[in-house]
Chains A and B, each alone.
Chain A
Amino acid sequence: MPGPEVHHLFHRPIADHSFSADRKILAVAKDSAVELYGKVAGAFKLKDELKGHDKTITGVDISPNSGRIVTCSQDRNALVWEPSPTGYKPTLVLLRIARAATFVRWSPSETKFAVGSGDRVIAVCYFEEENDWWVSKHLKKPIRSTITTVSWHPNGVLLAAGSTDAHARVFSSFIKGVDARPDPSVWGERLPFNTVCGEFMNNSAGWVHSVAFSPSGDALAFAAHDSSITVVYPTAPEQPPRAVISINTQLLPFMSLIWSSESEIVAAGYDCEAFRFQGDASGWQLSGTLESKGRPGLGDEREESALNMFKQMDLKGKAKDDTQLKTVHQNTISTVRAYESNDGNVTQFSTE
């Protein structure tokens, strides 16, 4: 596996990032603006800035086909940015939420997107032709706390959400006139809006930081604040799942996870590096880190002179400068995204 490509953009935390389908444009949330970077000769150069939110942007997503960008922010609004010859044009979405929006993702059909919020609702937004604006329907029950993350099923109707009430849930977000009737799946057959198709929690009930459907959509994985990953294999609607596998790790909690195939999950978080999990319905296990050991610029410890060592001890109270982590990322990884997929996925992370 080749080593990571590292692009250092700026010295600020990145709440979320997204690549366009051709991977030439990178959208990065920076404070209350989204910065668009274009790839020029292997490096990302700042091209455009989308300013429209008052407060910190919490989510950004580029739809793969239409190239529309949706952003959501702590100012309780979501904006859809339409590409046009003169630049991106924002349209306000009526979210009707009283608290910060926390997370946003386009559905695979690109006709809808879901916005998680601190208002204990998920706003499922779609475009209403006759009024010419984006409206939202709320998924409300039985959410008891802030939604931290959402993830779409490949069929574009089912939506998984993780919440600070320690549950990962699967909802139906079927909207008449927008969605085609989905094929029956392990999650359910008839799926009117706000059907709860599954509700899961793990033993110690930590906040759920990330959820993801497997590529086939028949399994769900979630990462919680108790440093665990839980994989759920449902059987049929209204029946207990055939397997719920929880892996408690010795590591710090994971903030984000993706499936790279039906039998592999990549997760990253407070340990500042990505880890690989492998398994299937009979069991899962941690199979190691993705961080390569012999990265250039690392590991070549210079031999110190005794004088220098005592000087450092005197100045800093320690002989070695240990403020640098041995990982590519020097702070918590907040998002992991699939970057390229041809059977197996290559992942791309956002940095500090």
Chain B
Amino acid sequence: MSIIQQHTSASLSDAWRTINIDALDPDSSQNFDTTTLHPPLPEINEADVRQLNAQVRQLLRGGDAEGALRGCLETPVYNGSESAKEAHLQTVTEVLQSIKASDMSPMLERIHQSPGGSELLDVLIKYLYKGMAASAGASGAPRAAGSRTPSTLTPQQTGFSQVGSRPGSTNESTGAAMSVILSWHEKVIDIAGLGSIGRCMTDWRKV
């Protein structure tokens, strides 16, 4: 059902195939801001994150690990500065590391059963992947200015990165951090299913 064409040297060559026609179309998705497609999200600044961090720590000290985990997953930093996002990741990582391996599954099960729980686990998955990315990335990633987290808790270099130096003495703690993330990942997927990974990839709200 092709339309009969006049063959010219231009149409016989394949050069026209490489023209980026989207750039020429004013309505194309290249030419509008895709963020306008979604409703705006509330902005969270660094001070809020620090305040939340303090509350979460208090819960942790009080022995309410589940409350602490819920607390930091209920207010993910979707719209905020890089440093605020980074600081919140630190908070989440801290909570995750303070929870015993044997408590993970029952706790996740309880969260999943509660109303809105699957949303919380989706947020957790996002932070787990962010944690992995942060540790796989350069160890010199911009550290949150206001973060009071000791550097031992910061996942930095892992075996995933082939570029970085091979594991040395400094990498032992980061390897441990990564294994914490990986075991959480396994447990969350057991409960929230593959759907949560799909949602993490699809979602436009990035942590």
Binding site for B on A (CB under 8 A): 52-54, 75, 77, 79, 92, 120, 144-145, 165-167, 201, 203-207, 224-228, 248-253
Identify whether the interface residues of A are mostly helix, strand, loop, or mixed. Answer: loop
CA distance A131 to B203 in the complex (A): 48
Contact A225 B198 (CB under 8 A): yes
Contact B1 A52 (CB under 8 A): yes
A residues less than 8 Å from B198 (CB atoms):
206, 225-227, 252-253
Contact B195 A205 (CB under 8 A): no
Does B10 have its Cβ within 8 Å of any Cβ on chain A?
no
Q: In the A-B complex, list the 10 residue pairs whose CB atoms are closest, starting with the nearest.
A: A250-B193, A227-B195, A206-B202, A204-B203, A226-B199, A226-B202, A205-B204, A250-B195, A248-B118, A227-B198
B residues less than 8 Å from A226 (CB atoms):
195, 198-199, 202-203
Binding site for A on B (CB under 8 A): 1-2, 27, 29, 32, 37-38, 118-119, 122, 191-196, 198-199, 202-205
A residues less than 8 Å from B194 (CB atoms):
227, 250-252
Contact A145 B202 (CB under 8 A): no
Task: Closest B residue to A55 by CB, please name it.
Answer: B1
Which residue of the partner chain, among A203, A251, A253, contacts B119 with CB atoms under 8 Å?
A203
Contact A249 B1 (CB under 8 A): no
CA distance A227 to B27 in the complex (A): 29
A residues less than 8 Å from B37 (CB atoms):
144, 165-167, 205
* Known contacts A120-B27, A250-B193: A227-B199 contact under CB 8 Å: yes
Contact B119 A248 (CB under 8 A): yes
Task: Closest A residue to B190 by CB, please name it.
Answer: A250
A residues less than 8 Å from B29 (CB atoms):
144-145, 165
Task: Closest B residue to A90 by CB, please name it.
Answer: B1
CA distance A77 to B198 in the complex (A): 33
B residues less than 8 Å from A252 (CB atoms):
194-195, 198
CA distance A253 to B195 in the complex (A): 7
Which residue of the partner chain, among A54, A75, A144, A248, contacts B195 with CB atoms under 8 Å?
A248
Contact B202 A207 (CB under 8 A): yes
Q: What are 20 inter-chain pairs, A to B, with CB distance below 8 A?
A: A54-B1, A145-B29, A166-B204, A205-B202, A205-B203, A205-B204, A206-B198, A206-B199, A224-B202, A225-B198, A225-B202, A226-B199, A226-B202, A227-B199, A228-B195, A248-B119, A250-B191, A250-B194, A251-B193, A252-B198
A residues less than 8 Å from B196 (CB atoms):
248, 250
Which residue of the partner chain, among A75, A167, A225, A228, contacts B1 with CB atoms under 8 Å?
A75
Task: Closest B residue to A92 by CB, please name it.
Answer: B1
Contact B202 A251 (CB under 8 A): no
A residues less than 8 Å from B192 (CB atoms):
250
B residues less than 8 Å from A253 (CB atoms):
195, 198
Task: Closest B residue to A73 by CB, please name it.
Answer: B1
CA distance A166 to B118 in the complex (A): 20
A residues less than 8 Å from B204 (CB atoms):
166, 204-205
**9 more A-B residue pairs beyond the given contacts A226-B202, A250-B194, A251-B195, with a C-beta to C-beta distance below 8 A:** A54-B1, A92-B1, A144-B29, A144-B32, A145-B29, A206-B198, A226-B203, A250-B193, A250-B196
Greatest chain B CB density within 10 A among A54, A224, A225, A249 is at A249
B residues less than 8 Å from A225 (CB atoms):
198, 202
Which residue of the partner chain, among A53, A144, A248, contacts B199 with CB atoms under 8 Å?
A248
Contact A77 B199 (CB under 8 A): no
